[in-house]
Amino acid sequence: MASQRQINVGGVPIGGGAPVAVQTMTKTETADLRATMDQIKRVAEAGADIVRVAVPRDQDVEALKEIVQASPIPVIADIHFNYTLALKALDAGAHCVRLNPGNIGGPDKVALVANRANELGTPLRIGVNSGSLPKHLRELEFENPVEALVTAAVEFVELMERLDFTNFKVSMKSTSVPNTIASNRLLSERIPYPLHLGITEAGTKWSGSLKSAVGLGTLLADGIGDTIRISLSTFHAEEEVKVGWEILKALKLRERGPVLIACPTCGRLQFDMDTVVAEIERRLEAYEDPIEVSVLGCAVNGIGEARHADFGITGAKDTGMIYSRGEPLKKVPTERLVDELFAEIDRYYKAGKRVVRDESRAAEARSWLAENEDASAMTPERMAAMEAAAADKEASPVAGRRFTRTRT
């Protein structure tokens, strides 16, 4: 169930139906101001809504004062063990402070932090981690790790409520994808507060992205989760942001930049599509509009499932074709496909988002397509289309959920 409460982290609403926010965490030494600010600028450019910085020492608090002033996006201070650092981070102007009520020195210390946060109107993120559950839940953790995580989170929530503090979101992290899914599902039924989702220590860019896509994607598709962070073993925090966005874009929860669709290729392919797709993906990074661009490895399928794409190419050995919204635009030599595709995209923007068609070139492309298309071929796309049509007859498991939300 989606969270009912909303908090505001430095101007970014979290929960209560707000768009799912993408977060990351800097990997620099926070006190290294130049390196930290460089990374914050890079993650902001990649689309991070919020950034978290580690604050393990006093010199990091000093840097934090300048970071919150200079950062283009809200900054969360990440605190462990030391409640005085949490107080100092609040006073330094952090837009939110993340702490684990279980490792900050007991309820009295949590109360001091909550009181100060209340005075300043600053939200907190209270985090529970499978690796640092309170002692009295250790036994339960062996028997039922999901229940142990959820119990810890609920106990912390109740503690905050007893302290008259409700300006918080909750994160419950585990390295296990099934446990993350199960525990967040349970917690979302038990508390009304916004949830931050992540898979702890997910791994490298490849495996970590997949684990995160499966774990977070499953929850987000159910409407659970208000902000996400993809934890990847890389020094390039912007990679985490890109993966987070791809998950949200795949679920149509948010839009950002073009969407690239590409066929998986098969034995019909006659040109170097790997290189072409990589080049198109790279060049599309310069565009902000959510246009859909499709790349088909051959024309046997006609324009097939790329019919809805704003622009697309289909290639062959020597000649390919550029199309737009199901209609051929022009035939071009294969080695010119990418340049001509971008020429058409730029022409579209120059004409005020209007596809510019040259009828004689379009007619030429249509006849090339007719020669190359084989309406009877059972291609991967046609099989997928048949399966999708069959599935459409059954009720969609995600109907009515939050897929239409866009950033305001």
Q: Are strands 311-314 and 319-324 parallel, antiparallel or unpaired?
A: antiparallel
Q: Residue type at 28?
A: T
3-state percent breakdown (helix, strand, coil) of the chain, nearest 5: 45, 20, 35
Rounded least distance, CB 365 to ligand SF4, Å: 17
Rounded least distance, CB 249 to ligand SF4, Å: 22
Strand partners, 333: 319
The two three-digit tokens of residue 106, written as one number: 């007991």
Nearer to ligand SF4, 261 or 343 (CB): 261
Nearer to ligand SF4, 193 or 271 (CB): 271
Nearer to ligand SF4, 80 or 382 (CB): 382
Nearer to ligand SF4, 264 or 333 (CB): 264
Nearer to ligand SF4, 169 or 331 (CB): 331
Nearer to ligand SF4, 65 or 268 (CB): 268
Q: Are strands 319-324 and 327-333 parallel, antiparallel or unpaired?
A: antiparallel
Rounded least distance, CB 381 to ligand SF4, Å: 5
Nearer to ligand SF4, 92 or 306 (CB): 306
Instruction: Report d(CA 109, CA 159) in Å as an integer.
Output: 12
Instruction: Report d(CA 88, CA 326) in Å as an integer.
Output: 58
Rounded least distance, CB 377 to ligand SF4, Å: 7
In this structure, are residues 212 and 224 in contact, taking their beta carbons and an 8 Å threshold?
no
In this structure, are residues 389 and 381 in contact, taking their beta carbons and an 8 Å threshold?
no
Nearer to ligand SF4, 239 or 381 (CB): 381
Residue 381 is a binding residue for ligand SF4 (CB under 6 A): yes
The two three-digit tokens of residue 363, written as one number: 């007619």
- Indicate if the alpha-carbon torsion angle 379, 381, 386, 391 is positive or negative: positive
Residue 385 is a binding residue for ligand SF4 (CB under 6 A): no
Rounded least distance, CB 378 to ligand SF4, Å: 10
Of 259, 239, 241, the closest CA to residue 249 belongs to 259
In this structure, are residues 276 and 297 in contact, taking their beta carbons and an 8 Å threshold?
no
Binding string to ligand SF4 for residues 212 to 251, with x set by CB under 6 A, is what? Answer: ----------------------------------------
In this structure, are residues 318 and 331 in contact, taking their beta carbons and an 8 Å threshold?
no
Distance of CA 243 to the CA centre of its chain: 5
Rounded least distance, CB 349 to ligand SF4, Å: 27
Binding range to ligand SF4, per CB under 6 A, among 167-175, 221-229, 337-345, 374-382:
374-382
Nearer to ligand SF4, 179 or 379 (CB): 379
Residue sitting closest to ligand SF4 (CB): 297
Binding string to ligand SF4 for residues 320 to 359, with x set by CB under 6 A, is what? Answer: ----------------------------------------
The two three-digit tokens of residue 280, written as one number: 């198109």
Nearer to ligand SF4, 268 or 357 (CB): 268
Rounded least distance, CB 297 to ligand SF4, Å: 3
Rounded least distance, CB 292 to ligand SF4, Å: 16
Instruction: Report d(CA 53, CA 36) in Å as an integer.
Output: 8
Rounded least distance, CB 321 to ligand SF4, Å: 12
- Residue count, binding to ligand SF4 (CB under 6 A): 14
Of 106, 146, 102, 101, the closest CA to residue 125 belongs to 101
Rounded least distance, CB 266 to ligand SF4, Å: 3
**Cα R_g (the chain), whole angstroms:** 25
Task: Find the angle CA(252)-CA(296)-CA(298) to the nearest 5 degrees.
Answer: 160
Kindly identify the residues of this chain, within the stretch 261-320, that bind ligand SF4 according to CB under 6 A: 263-266, 268-269, 296-298, 300-301
SS3 289: coil
Instruction: Report d(CA 281, CA 286) in Å as an integer.
Output: 10
Interface positions with ligand SF4 (CB under 6 A): 263-266, 268-269, 296-298, 300-301, 379-381
